[in-house]
């Protein structure tokens, strides 16, 4: 019988085609049906080992797609690879609401979140540059002090002796000594607090009359009894009549074990209690009344022992190459690099090479004007994000997904090219780079653009365009229209009504600056990052009568705070719910009677992991809704209080028309925050969002002068126009508005420009131009970096 022809060879021919196409199928991160937050069943393919920029108006769903979907699922899957025991200490994050999410790689988030509030965290410790520097001192210092931890201001010196008993029963005496670099007085913070005794106690009263003035110590309370009922003090004796020993016991006593009310109790004097409970920089109080008490009762200053260096005497006096370690950390990074490169220590040559490479990375990322002793908590969101980038630039990892949240935030247009080069470096190493960004300069280098919109909140959540920049320009989206815009200089600038005089400003890098800031107009202060803008304006104006400074710093308050509580909007809303349902307003507060008993109204269960970052797991009882079930039985116009807190500002503005609600919501819309949810935790807001929220809360307070620090951070050009209109409204109402800003769109609409520079750090610190935007553009002799960028944007070149 004849064999069938071609049957045998045909099978491999059919299977070989899919095999050849298989690698292509894995070259994209495949997203199908994403519905996180406001996303409307989004389908998109994000190419691997390419640079993708996701853009769109503020609140359009960019972060929901990149962070809430891709990054969240990647991190969830990685967490599941750990043992069950380890997973019990990790957040149990739910799977993002998405139909399909395929071909993910490990995601590394480089965001703008603050780097930590610890007073001991600095640029040097965050980048490991200080680790290399103290290792250098441990090997080469004169005199020899000890190992590298002898120069660590996070390690305290300790010594002791005891008996060590071996397994065989043999005992031997042993001693130990740890040589640390921590200053014993300030514990490595460089600061000391002087307490006002009159704020702690009323010396004209006895304990029974309420002599203790600390919050939480009312007469008869447990905390009060710890002082009045221990038998050491007469509760009827006035404090001014105490003996020296009694006074020391009440105020200065360090923690000590005593027997009190039949239990073992750790007693501490009032001063010790304040320092440990109210003034700990690593665990600051969250309650506003305690923050106010601490500010009233303590004066903070430089540590008298170490003079702000944070170091013990041996560490702060040893030298290498004629320099002490604290002198080196106080140098600008560019200057420190020169010192390191000139250092002649053959025995430490590899270490010196690594340190020099680390410092060059800091300079390459545009932060050469910083010093290693700069506290991490004082960095802007953009600076913090770039510091985080440093540890990834030299990483040997490849095929990783790096996700950036507006990496150009806080950058002058001149510095954006350098940031683009760093993003391309990460891509060219074989990594996938996803960037959420509004700047056209970053879009120009993208391999793929994903434009979200068309609007914010419920009006967004749709992918309007995917492709290259040329295609986006023709797409007709809000982003496309912003790309075609060119700067239009303000035609009719206002005439100043006077001037705020600044004389001899010399903070940080300022060089004895004299400048007149016009009043009754919109003034924009600009210059490259690190030029001295904030030092000049905030350092010279903050604290003056009638001046309100609105910065990007964290908003005082607990994790429970949200836009509705911070602006006072929730008060009339709770009252409306109470009136409609015949119950008390406290029922609709997650900080009061309506709180879920399990999570106490937080919506999540927090787990403190000590040295590791704490975790937050949604409460299983209330499902993260914060309220007791019976609270949700009460409605207002068919909505529960949870429904209201889930509404965006724009949605709420259409529903709540009462006078107070309308006024607050109008201000939030005016500052471009219409997309925020009323119940969104303040800890999740970006620096720019926090600042605009502060501005909305403080508008109408009667301030004569408003100072804003980069309020356009995180805003699309379309939203910048809204913000600029609001700033002009403030000026038209009689206020003076001073804005520290890099946005060219804001500069063109200013009445007056003050350009600080010409460079960063010690290359800046001078006013290089003062005048109108038109004068800057048309006067060719003005050749500052700001003038070059503004001139190019206005002329379309």
Position 9 scores a pLDDT of: 38
**C-alpha span between 394 and 167 (Å, rounded):** 47
By the 8 A CB rule, do 632 and 640 touch? yes
Instruction: List C-alpha distances in Å: 323 to 6, 131, 317, 616, 762.
Output: 83, 17, 9, 45, 20
Position 687 scores a pLDDT of: 64
Q: pLDDT tens-digit profile of 467-497? A: 999 999 999 999 999 888 888 899 899 999 9
Cβ atoms < 10 Å from Cβ of 539: 16
Q: pLDDT tens-digit profile of 382-391? A: 788 788 888 7
Instruction: List C-alpha distances in Å: 118 to 126, 280, 301, 309, 709.
Output: 11, 9, 17, 16, 23
Position 258 scores a pLDDT of: 87
**C-alpha span between 336 and 329 (Å, rounded):** 8
Name the band, by pLDDT with cuts 50, 70 and 90, for residue 614.
Answer: low
Q: pLDDT tens-digit profile of 371-404? A: 999 988 778 767 887 888 887 877 888 999 999 9
Q: Give the chain's domains with CATH numbers.
A: 28-114+379-484 (3.40.50.300), 123-185+307-365 (1.20.1580.10), 195-298 (1.10.8.280), 486-555+700-796 (3.40.50.300), 563-684 (1.20.1580.10)
Tokens matching residue 794: 């206005």
Phi-psi region of 563 (alpha: psi -120 to 50; beta: other; left: phi over 0): alpha
User: Does residue 16 register a pLDDT over 50?
Assistant: no
**C-alpha span between 331 and 99 (Å, rounded):** 53
Q: pLDDT tens-digit profile of 727-764? A: 999 999 999 999 999 999 999 999 999 999 999 888 99
Q: pLDDT tens-digit profile of 493-509? A: 999 999 999 999 998 88
pTM of the model: 0.78
Mean per-residue pLDDT of the chain: 87
Q: What is the DSSP string of 143-188?
A: S---SGGGG-TTS--EEEEEEEE-TTS-EEEEEEEE---B-TTTTT
**C-alpha span between 455 and 255 (Å, rounded):** 58
User: Does residue 554 register a pLDDT over 70?
Assistant: no
Cβ atoms < 10 Å from Cβ of 367: 26
By the 8 A CB rule, do 550 and 707 touch? yes
Name the band, by pLDDT with cuts 50, 70 and 90, for residue 612.
Answer: very low
3-state SS assignment for residue 485? coil
User: Does residue 14 register a pLDDT over 50?
Assistant: no
- Name the least confident of 23-32, 112-121, 338-347, 621-630: 112-121
Position 610 scores a pLDDT of: 46
Tokens matching residue 500: 């705020």
Position 357 scores a pLDDT of: 92
Most confident of 113-117, 395-399, 461-465, 689-693: 461-465
């Amino acid at each position: 019988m004849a064999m069938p022809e071609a049957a045998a060879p045909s099978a491999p021919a059919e299977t070989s085609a899919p095999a050849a196409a298989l690698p292509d199928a894995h070259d994209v991160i495949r997203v199908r049906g994403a519905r996180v937050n406001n996303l409307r069943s989004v389908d998109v393919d994000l190419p691997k080992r390419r640079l993708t920029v996701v853009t769109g108006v503020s609140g359009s769903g960019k972060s929901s797609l990149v962070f809430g979907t891709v990054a969240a699922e990647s991190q969830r899957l990685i967490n599941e690879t750990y043992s069950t025991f380890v997973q019990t200490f990790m957040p149990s994050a739910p799977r993002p609401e998405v139909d399909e999410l395929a071909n993910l790689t490990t995601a590394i988030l480089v965001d703008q979140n603050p780097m930590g509030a610890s007073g001991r965290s600095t640029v040097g410790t965050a980048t490991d540059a200080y680790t290399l520097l103290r290792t250098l001192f441990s090997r080469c210092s004169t005199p020899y002090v000890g190992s590298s931890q002898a120069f660590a201001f996070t390690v305290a010196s300790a010594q002791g002796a005891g008996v060590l008993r071996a397994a065989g029963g043999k005992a031997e005496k042993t001693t130990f000594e740890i040589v640390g670099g921590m200053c014993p007085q300030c514990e490595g913070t460089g600061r000391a607090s002087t307490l006002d005794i009159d704020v702690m106690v009323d010396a004209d009263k006895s304990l029974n009359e309420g002599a203790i003035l600390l919050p939480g110590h009312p007469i008869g309370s447990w905390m009060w009894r710890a002082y009045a009922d221990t038998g050491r003090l007469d509760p009827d004796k006035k404090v001014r009549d105490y003996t020296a020993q009694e006074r020391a016991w009440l105020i200065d006593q360090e923690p000590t074990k005593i027997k009190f009310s039949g239990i073992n109790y750790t007693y501490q004097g009032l001063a010790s209690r304040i320092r440990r409970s109210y003034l700990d920089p690593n665990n600051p109080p969250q309650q506003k009344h305690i923050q106010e008490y601490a500010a009233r009762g303590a004066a903070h200053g430089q540590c008298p022992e170490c003079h702000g260096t944070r170091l013990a005497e041996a560490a702060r006096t040893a030298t290498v190459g004629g320099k002490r370690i604290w002198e080196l950390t106080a140098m600008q990074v560019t200057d420190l690099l020169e010192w390191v490169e000139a250092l002649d220590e053959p025995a430490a040559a590899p270490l010196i090479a690594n340190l020099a490479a680390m410092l060059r990375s800091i300079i390459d990322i545009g932060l050469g004007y910083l010093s290693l002793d700069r506290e991490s908590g004082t960095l802007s969101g953009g600076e913090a994000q770039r510091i985080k980038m440093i540890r990834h630039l030299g990483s040997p990892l490849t095929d990783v997904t790096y996700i950036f949240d507006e990496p150009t935030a806080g950058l002058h247009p001149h510095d954006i090219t350098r940031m683009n080069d760093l993003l391309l470096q990460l891509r060219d190493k074989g990594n996938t780079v996803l960037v959420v960004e509004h700047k056209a300069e970053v879009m120009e280098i993208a391999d793929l653009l994903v434009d979200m919109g068309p609007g914010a909140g419920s009006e967004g959540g749709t992918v309007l365009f995917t492709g290259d920049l040329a295609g986006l320009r023709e797409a007709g989206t809000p982003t496309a229209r912003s790309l075609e815009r060119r700067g239009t200089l303000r035609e009719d600038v206002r005439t100043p009504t006077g001037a705020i005089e600044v004389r001899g400003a010399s903070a940080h890098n300022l060089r004895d600056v004299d400048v007149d800031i016009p009043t009754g107009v919109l003034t924009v202060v600009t210059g490259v990052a690190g030029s001295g803008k904030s030092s000049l304006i905030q350092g010279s104006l903050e604290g003056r009568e009638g001046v309100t400074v609105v910065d990007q710093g964290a908003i005082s308050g607990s994790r429970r705070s949200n836009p509705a509580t911070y602006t006072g909007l929730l008060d009339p809303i709770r009252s409306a719910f109470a009136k409609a349902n015949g119950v008390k307003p406290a029922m609709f507060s997650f900080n009061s009677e309506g709180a879920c008993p399990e999570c106490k109204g937080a919506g999540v269960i927090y787990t403190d992991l000590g040295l590791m970052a704490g975790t937050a797991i949604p409460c299983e009882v209330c499902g993260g809704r914060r309220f007791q079930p019976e609270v949700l039985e009460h409605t207002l116009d068919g909505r529960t209080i949870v429904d209201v807190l889930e509404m965006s500002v724009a949605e709420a503005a259409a529903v709540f028309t009462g006078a107070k609600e309308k006024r607050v919501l109008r201000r939030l819309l005016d500052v471009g925050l219409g997309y925020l949810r009323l119940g969104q935790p303040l800890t999740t807001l970006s620096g720019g969002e926090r600042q605009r929220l502060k501005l909305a809360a403080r508008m109408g307070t009667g301030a004569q002068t408003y100072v804003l620090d980069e309020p356009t951070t995180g805003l699309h050009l379309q939203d910048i126009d809204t913000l600029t209109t609001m700033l002009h409204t403030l000026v038209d109402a009689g206020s003076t508005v001073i804005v520290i800003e890099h946005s060219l769109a804001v500069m063109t609409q200013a009445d007056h420009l003050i350009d600080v520079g010409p460079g960063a750090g010690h290359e800046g610190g001078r006013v290089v131009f003062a005048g109108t935007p038109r004068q800057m553009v048309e006067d060719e002799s003005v050749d500052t970096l700001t003038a070059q960028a503004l001139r190019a944007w206005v002329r379309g070149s």
